[in-house]
């Protein structure tokens, strides 16, 4: 689409070459050893720590911070990984400002929490740099488990199963493992190919085989996996994207934000990635923010996020919203798209202002238009299709059915967060292990 003759405004190389490296550098540089000790000293080491309760993976946060404070970051990393095997990535992308750090006693007392996320990154980075993998496999059980999807849920499940001595085969439809960690997170949050480094580190436990380019329903069926393996875990994510259902949605220059982010993450030379001059992002979540900020960093002159409800209802945190506005992104709330205009390619997006009513969201009758040569849709993802024979609950898979378990974004319940997916994959592995070793 970016090379279409109908999209002259979407071009590559809007910035000087040096600007791309600067714009996409680590947006929050890591702590050094001294900074980490100073940050750790702010922790009260609460006995009944609210930060642990707020963490979906229930990491013993006071313990790992105390270990950093006493000069043993490797031990801190082990404490983190024992609960969250993808603790390095979660330290980079977790909305800590609405989880552990929001619950921090320092936040309540002073308005400035302990920097739990940055301390977690410090500990895991130090240990990974030294090649430390503190877990070993139990004796082989002879049981084989298939994991579908090499995203956070699938990888967490596979690692915990391997620890218990089971042999695991992970099938992944994409060319690389990592799921959203590799394809769906803003580049400036996870620089230096960290997602793949973490996958390689995780696999060093042994007993896990990853087969990329294998898609459930196309290359293998669920029935085949159930027949060949002792258990199956589905961590297939949400591959479908909700439609705007707006006239003109099919015009050139309109695309899904998740595809744009994935393309950006896999582009070695960002100066070759085309971007519009006037970009409009429709949605209010993390994907919308990531697409908007990265559009600005690629050289778009005007970038606007438009969300249909009030700003307080945006699923992107206040911290992320502030990050977007500080990058030069405009946020317009209480507006919904009603038409995309242009002769073949998008030129304007028409919006109607909205208001909340007892009957739901309604247009006020007042409209406005935004100039746009590129539009990104970020209005949520959905299950691309449930494997045959599995029950769906609230548009997602039920967590356990027979020999099949499910976790992560594709499963019912919980928030669509990396850290939640890790917790669900880990817990499913424990349930699978209990089932395989019962009696």
Per-residue pLDDT of the chain (439 residues; tens, 9 = 90+): 444 444 778 999 999 999 999 999 998 889 999 999 999 999 999 989 999 999 999 999 999 999 999 999 999 999 999 999 999 999 999 999 999 999 999 999 999 999 999 999 999 999 999 999 999 999 999 999 999 999 999 999 999 999 999 999 999 999 999 999 999 999 999 999 999 999 999 999 999 999 999 999 999 999 999 999 999 999 999 988 889 999 999 999 999 999 999 999 999 999 999 999 999 999 999 999 999 999 999 999 999 999 999 999 999 999 999 999 999 999 999 999 999 999 999 999 999 999 999 999 999 999 999 999 999 999 998 888 788 889 888 889 988 899 999 999 999 876 789 999 999 999 999 999 999 999 6
* pLDDT for the residue numbered 332: 98
List all residues 6 or more positions away from 34 whose beta carbon is below 8 Å from its beta carbon: none
Residue found under tokens 């909700």: 242
Q: Give me the DSSP letters along 245-265.
A: --TTTTSBTEEEHHHHHHHHH
* pLDDT for the residue numbered 93: 94
* pLDDT for the residue numbered 395: 83
* pLDDT for the residue numbered 414: 66
* pLDDT for the residue numbered 226: 97
Measuring CA to CA, how many Å separate 46 from each of 107, 170, 263, 278?
13, 39, 44, 49
Query: In this structure, are residues 151 and 178 in contact, taking their beta carbons and an 8 Å threshold?
Result: yes
* pLDDT for the residue numbered 4: 46
Query: In this structure, are residues 384 and 240 in contact, taking their beta carbons and an 8 Å threshold?
Result: yes
* pLDDT for the residue numbered 148: 98
Ordered structural domains, the chain, with CATH: 33-129 (1.10.1060.10), 144-239+383-437 (3.50.50.60), 241-377 (3.50.50.60)
Residue 216 DSSP class: B
* pLDDT for the residue numbered 96: 94
Q: Which of 308, 321, 305 is nearest to 375 (CA)?
A: 305
* pLDDT for the residue numbered 419: 96
């Amino acid at each position: 689409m970016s090379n279409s003759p109908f999209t002259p405004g979407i071009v590559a190389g809007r910035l000087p070459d040096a600007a791309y490296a600067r714009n996409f550098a680590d947006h929050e540089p890591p702590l050094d050893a001294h900074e980490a000790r100073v940050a750790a000293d702010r922790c009260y080491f609460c006995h009944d720590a609210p930060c642990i309760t707020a963490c979906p993976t229930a990491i013993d946060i006071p313990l790992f911070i105390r270990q950093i404070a006493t000069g043993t970051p490797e031990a801190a990393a082990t404490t983190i990984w024992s609960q969250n095997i993808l603790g390095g990535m979660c330290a980079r992308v977790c909305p800590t400002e609405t989880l552990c750090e929001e619950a921090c006693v320092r936040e309540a007392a002073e308005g400035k929490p302990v920097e739990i996320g940055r301390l977690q990154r410090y500990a895991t980075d130090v240990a990974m740099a030294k090649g430390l993998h503190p877990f070993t496999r139990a004796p082989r059980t002879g049981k084989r488990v298939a994991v579908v999807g090499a995203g956070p849920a699938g990888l967490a499940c596979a690692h915990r199963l391997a620890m218990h001595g089971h042999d695991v085969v992970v099938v992944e439809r994409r060319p690389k493992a990592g799921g959203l960690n590799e394809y769906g997170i803003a580049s400036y949050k996870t620089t230096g190919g960290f997602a793949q480094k973490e996958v390689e580190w995780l696999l060093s436990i042994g007993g896990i085989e990853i087969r990329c380019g294998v898609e459930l329903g196309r290359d293998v069926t669920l029935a085949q996996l159930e027949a060949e393996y002792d258990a199956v875990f589905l961590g297939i994510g949400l591959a479908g994207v909700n439609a705007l259902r707006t006239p003109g949605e099919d015009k050139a220059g309109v695309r899904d934000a998740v595809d744009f982010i994935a393309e950006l993450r896999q582009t070695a030379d960002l100066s070759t990635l085309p971007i519009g001059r006037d970009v409009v992002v429709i949605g209010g979540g993390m994907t919308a923010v990531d697409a908007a900020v990265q559009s600005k960093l690629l050289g778009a002159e005007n970038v606007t996020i438009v969300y249909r409800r009030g700003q307080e209802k945006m699923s992107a945190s206040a911290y992320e919203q502030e990050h977007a506005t500080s990058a030069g992104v405009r946020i317009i709330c209480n507006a919904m798209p009603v038409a995309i205009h242009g002769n073949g390619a998008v030129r304007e997006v028409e919006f109607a202002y909205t208001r909340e009513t007892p009957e739901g969201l309604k247009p006020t009758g007042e409209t406005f238009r935004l100039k746009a040569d590129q539009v990104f849709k970020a209005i949520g993802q959905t299950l691309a299709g449930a494997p045959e024979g599995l029950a769906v609950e609230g548009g997602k898979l039920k967590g356990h059915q027979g020999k099949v378990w499910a976790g992560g974004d594709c499963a019912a319940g919980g928030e669509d967060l990396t850290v939640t997916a890790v917790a669900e994959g880990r817990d499913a592995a424990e349930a699978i292990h209990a089932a395989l070793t019962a009696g």
